Amino acid sequence: MNALKKYGFSGLIALSAISILTMLLWFLIGHHFKTPHSFGNDSFSRSALGHSVFLEALERAGHTVERSKFQTSTQLQNVDLVILAEPYIQPKTTERTDEARQVLASGKPTLLVAPKRWGSPASLEDKHIARQGLEETTDVKYAVETLLQVDSTVTRTAATDCGDVTILDAQFVASDGFRPTGPCPAILTHRDHIWVLSDPDIIANHMLDSQDAQELALSIVNNITGPNATILVDETVHGHIQRPSLGELLTEPPLVWVVIHFFILFLFAGWAGLGRFGPGLAPLGPQEPGKALLIQNTSELLSYSGHQGLILKRYWEMMISDLKNHFQLTGNEAEVLQSLDKIIHARGLDWQIHALKERVDSLSDLRTSRPSRKITSTVRSIFQMRSQLIQAQHRNPS
């Protein structure tokens, strides 16, 4: 707190400026340091059947790779090639089927890796794939030819074993039927902007275990797009859509730095306000200047409303209750008044409490907005009686 008093808020402003500059710097270069997730769709993408190695090779080759996990068809602007990596196409998954159809119908160059495998989510965490296996050949053909309306398709991965793959083994051929072109991979073309990858899946992680295999996979993209292309890869593997989540975004760079920034500001704001808190204030003494006017205005408002008699009765009840508690009396109102009358005579005071009570009762039904001298004098008498009773007790406790 002493530092805050010495430097004012300059330190807080400087810290905020540094935090904001750091956040802006991360927005500009942070994507170079961001590592993929180890869960959800990325976990499958980095497995043997995924395609993360191929995507990293594309980035090293100078291509710009954008990953999509949701609504790929809305992200096609300024894209040179779209890679649909085994989209989950089934009659019941209309959302994924319609999404793939929109991508293929967009006119953008598209490399389709046919959906040759199926996967089911884990019961405890639906972002993880618990079980997977090869689709039947007839199901693959139905998904590609009927649902996606693409004539070219591929055989099952287990049907062919190419061994070591070289660049010379790649073939760009035109095919309109469900026929493998040979024992090694080929790129089957359908229309002028759609390419279907034949088996085995030469861009899968388990196929890219050698330099030749990676060069072969890169040559496919280079033949389609040329160098330094922008490639959008649909990583929604086997229908596991990762919908946008604000909660997840706030815990990931760069937005996590915004959260930390506001948290630091909150801490410093609390620290700056600590000086406003401290020990409790001392009890107020006699009436301070200025309150008399407030009391006078309040009394005038109550008087103007015509409730003077009601206020007088409430004031009487409050004073009697106060005296009852002070002298520790018991009983109903009549018994309390009788006890107070005895105390008055024992103290040698000249007050007729029953007469005062009758006066209060007679004035309690008064309804007037004009000042009443009778009410004023009665209030003064009640106050004086109470004060004298208490003072007399202090002088003579017995």
C-alpha to C-alpha distance for 157 and 140, rounded to whole angstroms = 11
Helices 353-363 and 308-326: angle between axes, nearest 10 degrees: 150
Residue among 12, 3, 10 at smallest CA distance from 267: 12
pLDDT confidence of residue 26 = 67
The answer on 165 and 48 residing in a single domain is: yes
| Under 8 Å between Cβ of 201 and 158 | no
- DSSP readout, 306-325? T-HHHHHHHHHHHHHHHHHH
Q: How many residues does the chain have?
A: 398
What residues pair up with 398 in beta bridges, in sequence order?
A: none
| Under 8 Å between Cβ of 358 and 374 | no
The answer on 192 and 124 residing in a single domain is: yes
Report the SS3 class of residue 98.
helix
Q: Environment class of residue 332 by beta-carbon count within 10 Å: exposed (0-12), middle (13-18) or buried (19+)?
A: exposed
Residue 287 forms part of a structural domain: no
The domain containing residue 374 runs over which residues? 292-395
pLDDT confidence of residue 349 = 84
The answer on 365 and 230 residing in a single domain is: no
What residues pair up with 118 in beta bridges, in sequence order?
A: 133
Residue 282 forms part of a structural domain: no
Are β-strands 117-121 and 129-134 bridged in parallel, bridged antiparallel, or unpaired? antiparallel
- Integer CA distances (angstroms), 153 to 114, 177, 178, 187, in order: 7, 7, 6, 10
The answer on 222 and 310 residing in a single domain is: no
Residue 193 forms part of a structural domain: yes
H/E segment holding residue 6: helix 2-7
pLDDT confidence of residue 47 = 62
Q: What would you measure as the largest C-alpha separation in the chain, in angstroms? A: 128
The answer on 319 and 231 residing in a single domain is: no
Rg (CA), the chain: 44
Mind spelling out the 3-state secondary structure of 347-390?
Answer: CCCCCCHHHHHHHHHHHCCCCCCCCCHHHHHHHHHHHHHHHHHH
What residues pair up with 190 in beta bridges, in sequence order?
A: 194
Residues 6+ apart with CB under 8 A from 152: 144, 175, 176, 177, 188, 189, 190, 196
Residue among 308, 337, 305 at smallest CA distance from 320: 337
Q: Flag whether the pTM goes above 0.85.
A: no
| Under 8 Å between Cβ of 134 and 122 | no
- DSSP readout, 244-288? --HHHHHTSTTHHHHHHHHHHHHHHHHHHTGGG--SPPPPP-SPP
The answer on 112 and 29 residing in a single domain is: no
* Number of structural domains found in the chain: 3
The answer on 319 and 242 residing in a single domain is: no
| Under 8 Å between Cβ of 343 and 334 | no
Residue among 14, 64, 68, 62 at smallest CA distance from 41: 68
Report the SS3 class of residue 207.
helix
- DSSP readout, 132-160? EEEPPHHHHHIIIIIIS--S-----GGG-
Return the C-alpha torsion angle 277, 278, 284, 289, nearest 10.
Answer: -50
pLDDT confidence of residue 169 = 38
Residue 96 forms part of a structural domain: yes
C-alpha to C-alpha distance for 135 and 151, rounded to whole angstroms = 18
What's the distance, Cα to Cα, between the start and end of the chain in Å? Answer: 56
pLDDT confidence of residue 379 = 84
The answer on 23 and 40 residing in a single domain is: no
Residue 233 forms part of a structural domain: yes
Residues 6+ apart with CB under 8 A from 30: 253, 254
- One pLDDT digit (tens) per residue for the chain, 398 residues: 444 455 455 666 776 677 777 767 766 666 555 544 434 444 556 665 677 788 888 888 899 988 887 778 888 888 999 988 777 676 666 777 788 888 888 888 888 877 666 666 667 765 566 776 766 767 777 777 777 777 654 433 333 444 443 333 334 333 333 333 444 555 555 566 887 775 556 677 777 777 777 777 788 788 888 888 999 888 665 545 566 667 766 776 667 777 887 888 788 777 776 665 556 566 666 656 666 677 677 767 766 666 777 888 888 889 888 888 888 888 888 888 888 888 888 888 888 888 888 888 888 776 665 656 788 888 888 888 888 888 876 555 55
C-alpha to C-alpha distance for 102 and 125, rounded to whole angstroms = 30
- Integer CA distances (angstroms), 287 to 239, 284, 382, 383, 390, in order: 76, 8, 20, 17, 20
The answer on 387 and 301 residing in a single domain is: yes
C-alpha to C-alpha distance for 324 and 318, rounded to whole angstroms = 10
The answer on 218 and 88 residing in a single domain is: yes
The answer on 217 and 177 residing in a single domain is: yes
The answer on 108 and 28 residing in a single domain is: no
